[in-house]
Structure formats: C-alpha cells, structure tokens
Amino acid sequence: MRSREFQTLIPEYETGTRRAQEIERVLTRAGYTMLGGGADATAWAKDDGRVIKIIMSEGDSNKPAMKTFRRFLKLTQARPSAHWPRFLPMQDDQGRSSVFAKFRIGDRNYLQIAMEQLTDLHPKEAEIIQTMSAYVEGNRDLGQFLRSLGGDQSARDWVKTNKQQIPGLWQAVKDAHSKTNWRYEWDLHGGNVMRRQDGTYVITDPWIRWS
C-alpha cells in the first residue's frame, strides 16, 4: 500500500462516525499509524513492514469494495505472478486463518487486509505504467508499447533497467484487464502500481466497482 493513494480532497472512506472512531482507536493502540484514506479504504502502517488496509467505504455499504478485493485476490491465486501484492495471513473473528479478516461494528461489515509495504512510483514511472495500461486496454501488443517509448530517453532508460520484468508485468496487466466487465471497470493507472525494494512493480488495485 502507499500513502499517495490515500490522499484526496474529497474523502471516499467512512470518517467521523462512531464506527470509524472505534477502528482508529483499536489500530492506534496496536501501534499502527494512519497513512491516510481515499478509495474506499484507510491504510495503516507499522514498523514490522506490513500495512493494514481497512475497507470502509463512505455511504451505505462496503459490499462493492469488498467484492472487488475478493475478485482481485481470486485472480492473484489463479494466475500467480511476481507482480501481485504479497498478502499476509491473519485470523478472522472466527479464529480462521486467511489473508483477509471480516469484522463487524454495529450493523456494518468491514474487511481488514494485511500486505507487504511498498513504495510509490516516481512520476515518470507512473506515466509509463499509465501508457502500458492504455495499450493493454486498446488491445495492442507489447512491441507496440515498447516502440511508443522510443522517442524519450528517460523512457528508454526505464526499458533498459526493467527489461527482465517488463514481459511479466505486461502479462499481469493483461490478466487483470481480462477480468473487467460492466461491473468491474478498468482503473489501472500509475497510482495503482507500486514497487518493492528490489524494484519489482506490483499491481495493487486494477478495477473499480460502484455498486
């Protein structure tokens, strides 16, 4: 997860309610620091290298965001790739081990997800990832994408640096795009991809569902 994803002028996550305040109290007491909030969730970091994401949409229901995450998790399990997040196991409120935990406050369900801590992309990297996403969405091939970068020295340097991982990243983007439909809209851009410390690009949130 990243801090920039959770910075927005108009919060889309639940805030100010007694339920939100309870979640904040519990995580703060457990030693987590809030990174911010935005696309249907808040993110919290701890020094142990993990980030906790709480799906807590503004409005009447968390169901669309929860369904989107579960769809993404199913994709990562069906088509293994180095370019998916590493989700970390936890126990749900029934004591079962899972990479996500569902819990309830009052009359509302929430989803807690633990995953590796990642870093933001630099602006040029984000721009290139945005171009890659557009080329996949436009049903173009990898060669066309790489040729589109040829006129920019910094983009050529990016290709040279990342030549070993580009085919795998391209395939992961294609796999994610293949699961879009009228419910799950394509939303992969430079803000929805991050990097590990070893430089591997990681897709974090490829779709959006409104209802």
So where are the chain's domains? 4-116, 123-208
Instruction: Give dist(CA 51, CA 12) in Å, integer.
Output: 19
Which CATH code is given to the segment(s) 4-116? 3.30.200
Q: What is the pLDDT of residues 189-208, one digit of tens each?
A: 988 899 999 999 999 989 99
Q: What is the pLDDT of residues 141-166, one digit of tens each?
A: 999 999 999 888 999 999 999 999 99
Helix (H) or strand (E) holding 41: strand 41-45
Please give the average per-residue pLDDT across 58-65, as a whole number.
Answer: 82
Q: What is the mean pLDDT of the chain?
A: 88
